[in-house]
Structure 1
């Protein structure tokens, strides 16, 4: 029977890839061929509480530009928003906000 060995562990921390809790993240909603523009507006109003004008502006960005940033903040909150958008049937992702 061979002895049990443990892998070598590199304990150095790469500070460049370390998570910065102050880095803002974004929830991005993407265009899809399924959902009606009126439904996307409804979701933005119902979930985020946007007024009609803002919800329509974001919906038009999704439709015309292919995507829109609908929220920005802490990563965990943006992930919750993306999950909620999925629950509504919209395609959403989370990304780091550009600096």
Structure 2
């Protein structure tokens, strides 16, 4: 009976780990203007001006902002797109 409970615990833990979203994070840099970062968030992600400004200020004031969360492949595409715009971005796993 114990082995079955331990197996169940492992299965549930693995299932929970698979459900943890990935996050796309944009990092502050000394190169890009705040207005440009806001523009990228509006044009690429389709964020309204207020949300793009809020995220840009997080990048500027706190050094980073989570700009999207979801499946790993989608976050990797977002990060590649951010690189294409000249922004520093990474994919991390965690609560989003």
The CA distance in 1 between the partners of 2:82 and 2:67, in whole Å, is: 10
| Structure 2 gap segments, 5+ residues each | 1-9
Distance 2:18 2:73 in 1: 10
Give the TM-score, by structure 1 length: 0.78
Kept in 2, the 8 Å contact 1:29–1:93? The answer is yes
- Structure having the larger proportion of residues in helix: 2
- For the 8 Å contact 2:20–2:95, the answer to whether it is kept is no
Q: What TM-score do the two structures reach when normalised by structure 2?
A: 0.80
Q: Which of 23, 26, 30 is residue 29 of structure 1 equivalent to?
A: 26
Q: CA RMSD in A?
A: 1.7
Runs of 4+ in 1 over 3 A off after TM superposition: 18-21
Task: Work out which of the two has the higher radius of gyration on C-alpha atoms and give 1 or 2.
Answer: 1
Aligned length: 83
Counterpart CA distance in 2 for 1:97 and 1:88 is 25
Which of 33, 36, 39 is residue 42 of structure 1 equivalent to? Answer: 39
Structure 1 regions of 5+ residues with no counterpart? 1-14
